[in-house]
């Protein structure tokens, strides 16, 4: 098809102290990626990084980030990501590294991958957890709330109803 | 970004998850909702509740569409961070993210139908219509969507649906009610419905008027005008009736006119009532400035028993609002009389008000019941509005003066006026109208005619009028009669003699009787005898009687069915109406040497209510019907100024000019800037209007200033000089700012005749051609000076004939040729004419510059710009291709000196060349004429606003 093609990188930000994760914001992440690319690839890399580069999504609770690169040179930019060792955010330097989980052609495939990845993690987490009954129940609830079955149609109907309300 | 685009974007991004970040204080509104994220973020209940910012997060998030901008703000951050995390929180964060992603990944991002989610190879034709073509999993949703869309359609339709069925709406009474309602705002002529089916209608001057037919008929209309007959409904012209003593009326009216501009109200020919006159009316005692506009007027012939005279003044509706107060003031008629309580008038006007709003109860009920209700109530059937429907029934139409005894009566829409233009219009009239048959019943009847028949003198008059009318049939062309002749007549109902098919009225050719020949000559030389100009149309009571006793079309058809021999003609019985009419001869082209009496015709004046009864029979005689557009062309071919287009000095004319300018500017601005004509480059200062005032002022200054150096040798020098002068003018204007006298249009007949003779070229023998030879004063410096001093600040109406090809347009410039141009022209008269060098558009760069700077720089930087500070025009005022106000000197802007502008120009079918009509400055014209060689006098240049090419024209001033 005729369109501008991109690559979406689904990355996980790993920090030593999980509380630092909450301080992140998308602008800081973008800045650090740009700085890293400039450091490793020089002006050429910095220029490439200014074309269609964008942080599409950042979840400060889970540390998941979507990065969009131009398809033509995403590999070059990707190669700079391991050199990120810290992100400066809100006046603090947070030591961290980026772990790329998935590379997708559309944001949708990344989302689908993320669903699978998260559910798998939750499922793995449940048997390991042995401390508190209440906490365990919460995890179970969480797993149930995001189960794939029956999600689609119900959501669609919800949407229809909301649309109807809009029209009134 | 437009609102619709933003909405689309919002719809598209609705399901997409937004970033989940710890909010900074100013960041709250940009945090988008994210599928129950609010719950999720409350990691450890009690603890987080302590923090205000967490609480703020729970407030319903403000939807901000796609704007997810970042706001700086990182104060007081550390204190609000949670200290520890738990596994539950960890899991919940993951779970929330999954559900958000789920929503984003599974749901449709686009706003449209379900089957857009299907891959292409699974889509089927007509899937939206038949949901069974969809896969089963999507069927339910598609069904629901379809139902919804159907309901939405119904809902919309419900609003549109009228409460009544079409049949009910089209029923005659209801249709009339609807028509009456629509006539509240703009007056409909009696022929409105006929016109509305065939014409482009326009709302103008408070009327609904036809502009031009929907079919192509420009040339056929012209042919009809020049060889057969063209019909127009001029009922929108306003008639104002003045009644009073003759000397008092004349004393009042002479203030409005001046003898210098032609015969006035008091001219003996018009005063007798034998001729219709036309005159330009000025504000009281203001001649030659402050004109109001042209009117035609008709005196009622004097009857022996009746001392007060009656005068009808016909004025254009745009003029009426100025004329009526002026008339009231000169006649001192300030007492408004309550509208008469006669049943006829008041009913016609007051009726619609209760009828127009039908009873709401009736409205709501079902059709059958509504019908019965109406019958039970026994309401009178809706009556058609005759006359002025927009006027309130209580507003006064009559004003009386206690001191002079003059009564002014506003007869707007009381009299129907049809205009027939063309040499055969008399034969059309002769075929359509038949003089009323006499009925000799002895018993009294409610109709006016049998009563009148009892009077011997009336019958004698009727006989005379009939004779004249019969003689009229025999003349060759309508132009042969003396202009303005009036003939009163009483005719039968023309519907009785309606032909079964459309026929073309042919001139009557049998000229066998010798006596007729003599009578015809008498008629052509002397006009209609005075006593025959009398008509009962002047009597209000007769008019009302005729209007009320008109037989309806339905009744007439019923009578036709009862005829013994089907298809035979209905005889005129006593109950059929006899209609008093007035036939007024309309002179054609009276000025100029060529095409004398072209476009002459007759006006037919009828009492109101009879409009359609005469219209259809006239149309059945093969006339063409035309609208406003053709009347403009008619006056253009007659070389007569058309009101209000060509009266820039009248209030109505200046209003019209403003409207026209706004209209032209609107169409001009609708074009993309790159496709517009750049009038600056064409050297055209005012393409959409004519700044007459400025022109007159500049020429005034040039003439007074240039008097000293009359001996100056050339136009080029003059142009240069005028440049300097103009600088002076502008400086003077800024200093003094006193309002100079406004320009006037030269209407003094004597001066016009003199000027006209000066404009004609001398033949080789040094003789002047044409009629003005005897009176002419030779063109000399002294004569010009005296003429000029008499007519300062005036412009004159001229006709310009192109000498080569070319089609002049409105607002074209009339320029004076230079000596070299004339030399070239003298060598070969077929020479096309000089070219104007293209001008430079200084404003273009400024506009571009402004655009750029406004894009890149902040406003403060723009104001620092040196050009911006000196430039009086802000970029928003500048339109690409148009000069901004105030205009520079209009006379010397181009390489040839501008004398005036064209107000109407077109290819004239009657001359076979381009012809233009317009005004030129008198001072400028005299100045130019003095410098031209005598054999080429009156040769000027004309340039269209969209062209750089000058064309040679011959100037004529027709008197």
Q: Is residue A61 within 8 Å of residue B20, measured between CB atoms?
A: yes
Interchain pair B105, A115: CB under 8 A: yes
CA atoms within a 13 Å half-sphere pointing along the CA-CB vector of B86: 20
B528 in a domain, yes or no? Answer: yes
Q: Are residues B690 and B584 in the same domain?
A: no
Q: Which two tokens stand for residue B484?
A: 């303005």
| B620 shares a domain with B537 | yes
- Listing DSSP states for A86-126 in one string gives EEEETTEEEEEEEEEEEEESSHHHHHHHHHHHHHHHHHHHH
Interatomic CA distance for residues A31 and A46, integer angstroms: 11
- If one counts every other C-beta atom within 10 angstroms of the C-beta of residue B509, the result is 8
Chain B residues with CB-CB distance to A22 below 8 A: 22, 81-82
pLDDT in the model for residue B78: 43
What is the tally of structural domains in chain B? Answer: 2
Query: Is B90 within 8 Å of B38 (Cβ atoms)?
Result: no
d(C-alpha B848, C-alpha B853), whole Å: 8
Spatial distance between the Cα atoms of B183 and B177, rounded to a whole number of angstroms = 10
Judge contact between B374 and B365, C-beta under 8 A: no
Contact A18 B148 (CB under 8 A): no
Residue A9 has pLDDT above 90, yes or no: yes
For residue B755, the enclosing domain spans: 672-703+745-759+778-844+879-958
- Those residues of chain B that have pLDDT short of 70 are 1, 22-86, 107-117, 155-162, 305-306, 338-394, 440-445, 508-515, 573-575, 592, 706-740, 762-777, 829-831, 851-877
Kindly state whether residue B48 falls inside one of the protein's structural domains. no
pLDDT at B324: 86
Q: How far is the C-alpha of B257 from the C-alpha of B240, rounded, in Å?
A: 17
Residue in chain A closest to B137 (alpha carbons) equals A153
Asked if omega into B644 is within 30° of 0 (cis), the reply is yes
Residue B319 resides in a domain: yes
**Looking at the structure, do residues B833 and B916 belong to the same domain, yes or no?**
yes
Q: Which residues of A touch B88 (CB under 8 A)?
A: 134-135, 138-139, 142
Query: Does B425 lie in the same domain as B312?
Result: yes
Pairwise CA distance, residues B478 & B524, whole Å: 10
- Mean confidence (pLDDT) of chain A: 81
In a domain? residue B556: no
Secondary structure of residue B97 in the 3-state scheme: helix
Q: Are residue B474 and residue B517 in the same domain, yes or no?
A: yes
Report the gap between the CA of A48 and the closest CA in chain B (Å): 23
Tell me the pLDDT tens digit for each residue of B483-540. Answer: 888 888 888 888 888 888 888 877 766 655 556 777 777 777 777 777 788 888 888 8
In a domain, B242, yes or no: yes
Contact B644, B656 (CB under 8 A): yes
The verdict on residue B425 lying in a domain is yes
Q: Are strands B238-244 and B407-410 parallel, antiparallel or unpaired?
A: antiparallel
Q: Are B303 and B237 members of one domain?
A: yes
CA distance A66 to chain B (A): 10
Nearest CA in chain A to B105: A108
CA distance A112 to chain B (A): 6
- pLDDT tens across A153-163, in order? 444 444 434 33
Q: B94: which chain A residues are within 8 Å (Cβ-Cβ)?
A: 62, 118, 121-122, 142
CA B857 to chain A, closest CA, distance in angstroms equals 24
Q: Which of A31, A57, A122, A126 to mutate to test the interface with B (most CBs of B within 10 A)?
A: A57
Number of CB pairs, chain A paired with chain B, less than 8 A apart: 136
* Cβ contact A139–B82 (<8 Å): no
Contact B40 A61 (CB under 8 A): yes
Residue A47 confidence class, pLDDT cut points 50, 70, 90? very high
In a domain, B751, yes or no: yes
Tell me: do B580 and B688 sit in the same domain.
no
Measured CA to CA, the distance from residue B888 to residue B884 in angstroms comes to 9
Q: State whether B603 and B682 are in the same domain.
A: no
Residues B102, A115: C-beta atoms closer than 8 Å = yes
At A69 the three-state DSSP class reads strand
A64:B144 CB<8 A: no
3-class state of residue B184 by DSSP: coil
A chain contacts of residue B99, beta-carbon cutoff 8 Å: 145-146, 151
Q: Which two tokens stand for residue B455?
A: 């009077």
Q: How far apart are CA B459 and CA B473, in angstroms?
A: 21
Instruction: Determine the residue among B7, B39, B97, B148 to mutate to test chain A binding: the one whose Cβ has the most chain A Cβ atoms within 10 Å.
Output: B97
What is the pLDDT at residue B388?
Answer: 66
Q: Which residues of A touch B22 (CB under 8 A)?
A: 22-25, 60
CA of B127 vs chain A CAs: smallest distance (Å): 19
Measured between beta carbons, the chain B residues lying within 8 angstroms of A12 are none
**Residue B795's domain is classified under what CATH number?**
2.40.30.110
What is the interface pTM, i.e. ipTM, of the complex?
0.78
Which of A16, A21, A59, A67 to probe the B interface (max B CBs under 10 A)? A59
The answer to whether residue B290 is domain-embedded is yes
Q: From the CA of A140, how many Å to the nearest CA of chain B?
A: 9
Q: Are B520 and B594 part of one and the same domain?
A: yes
Domains of chain A from N-terminus onward: 6-112 (3.30.70.3250), 129-167 (no CATH)
pLDDT of res. B598: 85
Task: Provide the strand spans (E) within B675-830.
Answer: 744-745, 794-802, 813-815
pLDDT at A35: 93
Distance from CA of B121 to the nearest CA of A (A): 15
Same-domain status, B543 and B599: yes
Task: Give the gap in angstroms from C-alpha A117 to the nearest C-alpha of chain B.
Answer: 9
- Residue B81 to residue A139, Cβ atoms within 8 A: no
pLDDT at A7 over 90: yes
Check whether residue B685 and residue B594 sit in a common domain.
no
Q: Per the CB < 8 Å rule, is A64 touching B99? A: no
* Interval A103-133: pLDDT, tens: 999 888 898 899 889 888 888 877 776 666 7
Q: Are residues B266 and B332 in the same domain?
A: yes
Q: From CA A60, how far away is CA A82, in angstroms rounded?
A: 20
Contacts of B97 in chain A (CB under 8 A): 59, 61-62, 64, 114, 118
Q: How far is CA B538 from CA B273, B298, B317, B581, B692, in A?
A: 12, 11, 21, 9, 42
What are the residues whose beta carbons fall under 8 Å from the beta carbon of B778, sequence distance 6 or more?
none
């Amino acid at each position: 098809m005729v369109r501008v093609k991109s690559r979406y990188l689904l990355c996980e930000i790993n920090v030593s102290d999980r509380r630092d994760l909450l301080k992140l914001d998308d602008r800081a992440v973008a800045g650090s990626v740009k700085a890293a690319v400039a450091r490793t690839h020089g002006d050429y890399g910095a220029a490439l990084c200014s074309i269609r580069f964008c942080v599409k999504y950042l979840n400060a609770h889970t540390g998941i980030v979507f990065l969009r690169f131009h398809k033509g040179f995403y590999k070059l930019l990707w190669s700079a990501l391991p050199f990120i060792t810290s992100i400066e955010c809100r006046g603090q330097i947070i030591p961290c590294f980026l772990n790329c989980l998935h590379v997708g052609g559309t944001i949708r495939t990344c989302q689908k991958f993320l669903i699978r990845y998260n559910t798998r993690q939750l499922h793995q987490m449940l048997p390991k957890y042995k401390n508190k009954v209440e906490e365990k129940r919460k995890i179970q609830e969480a797993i149930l709330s995001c189960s794939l079955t029956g999600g689609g149609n119900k959501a669609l109907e919800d949407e229809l109803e909301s649309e109807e309300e809009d029209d009134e | 970004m437009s609102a619709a685009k933003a909405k689309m974007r919002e719809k598209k991004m609705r399901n997409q998850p937004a970033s989940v970040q710890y909010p900074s204080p100013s960041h709250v509104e940009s945090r988008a909702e994210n599928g129950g994220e609010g719950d999720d973020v409350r990691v450890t209940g009690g603890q987080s509740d302590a923090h205000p910012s967490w609480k703020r997060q729970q407030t319903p998030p403000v939807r901000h569409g796609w704007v997810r901008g970042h706001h700086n703000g990182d104060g007081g951050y550390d204190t609000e961070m949670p200290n520890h995390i738990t596994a539950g929180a960890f899991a919940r964060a993951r779970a929330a993210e999954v559900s958000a992603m789920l929503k984003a990944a599974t749901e449709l991002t686009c706003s449209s139908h379900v089957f857009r989610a299907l891959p292409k190879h699974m889509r089927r034709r007509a899937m939206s219509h038949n949901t069974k073509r969809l896969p089963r999993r999507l069927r339910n949703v598609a069904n629901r969507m379809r139902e919804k869309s159907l309901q939405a359609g119904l809902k919309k339709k419900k609003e549109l649906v009228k409460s009544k069925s079409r049949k009910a709406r089209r029923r005659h009474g209801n249709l009339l009610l609807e028509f009456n309602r629509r006539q509240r705002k703009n007056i409909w002529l009696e022929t409105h419905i006929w016109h509305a089916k065939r014409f482009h209608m326009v709302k103008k001057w408070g009327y609904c008027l036809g502009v031009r037919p929907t079919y192509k008929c420009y040339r056929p209309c012209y042919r009809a005008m020049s060889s057969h007959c063209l019909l127009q409904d001029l009922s929108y012209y306003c008639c104002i009736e003045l009644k009073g003593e003759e000397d008092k009326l004349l004393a009042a009216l002479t203030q409005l006119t001046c003898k210098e501009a032609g015969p006035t109200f008091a001219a003996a020919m018009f005063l007798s009532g034998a001729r219709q006159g036309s005159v330009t009316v000025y504000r009281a005692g203001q001649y030659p400035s402050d004109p109001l506009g042209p009117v035609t007027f008709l005196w009622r012939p004097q009857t022996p028993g009746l001392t007060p005279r009656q005068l009808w003044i016909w004025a254009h509706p745009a003029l009426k609002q100025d004329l009526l107060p002026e008339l009231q003031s000169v006649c001192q008629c300030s007492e408004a009389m309550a509208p008469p309580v006669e049943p006829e008038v008041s009913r016609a006007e007051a009726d619609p008000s209760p009828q127009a709003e039908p009873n709401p109860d009736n409205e709501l009920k079902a059709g059958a019941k509504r019908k019965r209700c109406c019958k039970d109530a026994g309401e009178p059937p809706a009556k058609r509005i005759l006359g002025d429907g927009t006027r309130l029934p209580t507003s006064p139409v009559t004003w009386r003066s206690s001191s002079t005894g003059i009564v002014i009566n506003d007869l707007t829409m009381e009299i129907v006026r049809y205009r027939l233009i063309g040499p055969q219009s008399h034969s059309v009239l002769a075929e359509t109208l038949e003089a009323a048959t006499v009925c000799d019943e002895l018993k009294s009847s409610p109709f006016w005619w049998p009563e009148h028949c009892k009077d011997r003198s009336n019958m004698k008059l009727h006989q005379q009028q009939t004779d004249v009318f019969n003689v009229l049939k025999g003349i060759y062309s309508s132009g042969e009669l003396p202009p303005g002749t009036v003939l009163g007549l009483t005719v039968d109902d023309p519907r009785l003699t309606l032909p079964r098919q459309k026929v073309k009225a042919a001139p009557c050719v049998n000229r066998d009787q010798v006596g007729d020949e003599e009578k015809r000559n008498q008629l052509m030389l002397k006009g209609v005898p005075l006593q025959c100009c009398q008509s009962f149309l002047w009597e209000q009571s007769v008019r009302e009687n005729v209007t009320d006793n008109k037989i309806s079309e339905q009744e007439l058809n019923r009578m036709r069915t009862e005829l013994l021999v089907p298809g035979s003609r209905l005889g005129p019985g006593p109950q059929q109406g006899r209609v008093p009419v007035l036939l007024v001869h309309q002179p054609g082209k009276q000025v100029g040497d060529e095409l004398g009496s072209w476009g002459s015709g007759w006006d037919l004046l009828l009492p109101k209510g009879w409009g359609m009864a005469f219209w259809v029979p006239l149309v059945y005689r093969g006339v063409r019907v035309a609208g406003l557009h053709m009347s403009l062309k008619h006056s253009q071919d007659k070389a007569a100024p058309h009101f209000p287009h060509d009266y820039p000095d009248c209030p109505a004319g200046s209003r019209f000019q403003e409207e026209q300018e706004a209209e032209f500017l609107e169409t001009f601005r609708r074009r993309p800037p790159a496709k517009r004509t750049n009038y600056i480059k064409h050297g055209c200062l005012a393409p959409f209007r004519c700044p007459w005032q400025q022109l007159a002022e500049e020429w005034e200054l040039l003439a007074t200033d240039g008097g000293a150096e009359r001996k100056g040798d050339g136009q080029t020098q003059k142009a240069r000089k005028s440049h300097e002068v103009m600088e002076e003018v502008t400086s003077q204007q800024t200093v003094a700012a006193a309002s100079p006298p406004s320009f006037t249009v030269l209407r003094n007949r004597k001066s016009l005749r003199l000027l006209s003779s000066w404009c004609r070229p001398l033949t080789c023998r040094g003789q002047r051609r044409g009629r003005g030879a005897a009176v002419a004063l030779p063109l000399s410096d002294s004569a010009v000076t005296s003429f000029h001093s008499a007519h300062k600040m005036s412009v004159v109406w001229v006709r310009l004939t192109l000498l080569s090809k070319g089609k002049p347009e409105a607002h074209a410039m009339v320029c004076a040729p230079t000596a070299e141009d004339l030399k070239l022209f003298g060598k070969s008269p077929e020479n096309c004419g000089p070219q104007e060098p293209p001008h430079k558009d200084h404003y273009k760069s400024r506009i571009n510059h402004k655009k750029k700077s406004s894009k890149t720089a902040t406003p403060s930087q723009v104001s620092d710009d040196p050009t911006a500070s000196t430039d009086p025009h802000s970029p928003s005022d500048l339109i690409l291709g148009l000069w901004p106000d105030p205009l520079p000197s209009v006379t010397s802007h181009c390489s040839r000196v501008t004398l005036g502008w064209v107000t109407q120009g077109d290819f004239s079918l009657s001359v076979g060349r381009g012809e233009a009509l317009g005004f030129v400055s008198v001072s400028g014209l005299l100045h130019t004429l003095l410098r031209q060689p005598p054999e080429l006098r009156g040769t000027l240049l004309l340039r269209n606003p969209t062209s750089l090419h000058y064309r040679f024209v011959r100037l004529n001033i027709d008197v």
